[in-house]
Amino acid sequence: MRPTSAGRQRRALLYPTLIVVAIITQIPFLLTIYLSFQSWNLTRPDLGRVFTGFGNYATEVLSAEFGAILLQTLAITAISLVICCAVGLVLALLLNRDFFGKGLVQTLLVTPFFVMPVVTGLIWKNELFSPNFGILTWLAGVVGIEGFNPMANQALFMVSTMIAWQWEPLFMLVLLAGLQAIPEEEKEAARLDGCTRFGVFWHIELPYLLPYYRMVILLGTIFILQAFGEIYVGTAGGPGTSSMNLQYLTYDTAVVGTQVGAASAIGVGTLIITLVILTGLMRAANAVVKEV
């Protein structure tokens, strides 16, 4: 009986924390679900709040605009993940070697991770790609490329690149930890068997990295799906809605359009879609890791 009593006492210590976490996370979510069934325009208080059932879901979540922005959200996430996986792997392989100034290089490569998303958007929009003052725009003019303005002409790709620049250090650090966990004896045995450097990477290092890829891709997907600051400052979702994601659409509907009920329906729909994507991604990643 004593172990059972001790276990109950240990669990009882967790209850206050669990109650606080439940209040902080679940009450706002339940309130959002409640508002998603209401028609509430902040600029028309005379109309009050009217119960509309699933009307907001029918007009917002099932609309053609929502579908187009959902595809853009998936495109931004996919492009960012591909860039993060490729660049993160190259930099992790570089930092897994010994060279002069390695500590300084690693510190500089991690720096984007600590830059606020709004600051990232300002740097890319005003310092690098501004049509009037951007450094890269000026360099493009020097080599004869006129009208170079990717923030307007390739807004979706530029937003994806900004987000990838922000989160690439996370991928690099996780993959570097995976590379440093590989037993040196296995790589040495592969070299003695005649494997080239690429053979060691393909047959030894890459299979070891798959569990690390699974973890960092899941984390990266969660973070990238929530991207907002880079879009808000960099392109404001434009031109038109060409670089808008679902997070920005929720903000635009609630704050600019002042439609709280419609924005709540978009938010709930976004959460459901995110859970479906993450569940499918996790199952696919687990299947790949088990096969290797």
Give the pLDDT confidence of 112-168 residue by residue, as tens digits. 988 999 998 898 888 888 888 888 888 888 888 877 888 888 899 999 999 999 999
- Whether 226 is covered by a domain: the verdict is yes
Task: State residue 4's pLDDT score.
Answer: 59
Structure tokens at 65: 């605009």
User: In this structure, which amino acid lies at residue 140?
Assistant: A
Say which CATH number the domain at 69 has: 1.10.3720.10
Confidence of residue 34 (pLDDT cuts 50, 70, 90): very high
Q: Residue 41's beta-bridge partner residues?
A: 259
Domain count, the chain: 1
Token pair 């853009």 is at which residue?
A: 72
Q: Residue 51's beta-bridge partner residues?
A: 38
Q: Which residues of 30-56 are buried (b: 16+ CB within 10 A; e: fewer)?
A: eebeebbbbbbbeeeeeeeeeebeebb
Structure tokens at 164: 């990838």
- The structure's pTM equals 0.87
- Whether 56 is covered by a domain: the verdict is no
The whole domain housing 187 covers 65-290
- Whether 274 is covered by a domain: the verdict is yes
- Whether 6 is covered by a domain: the verdict is no
Distance (Å, rounded) from C-alpha 279 to C-alpha 262? Answer: 26
- Whether 47 is covered by a domain: the verdict is no
- Whether 284 is covered by a domain: the verdict is yes
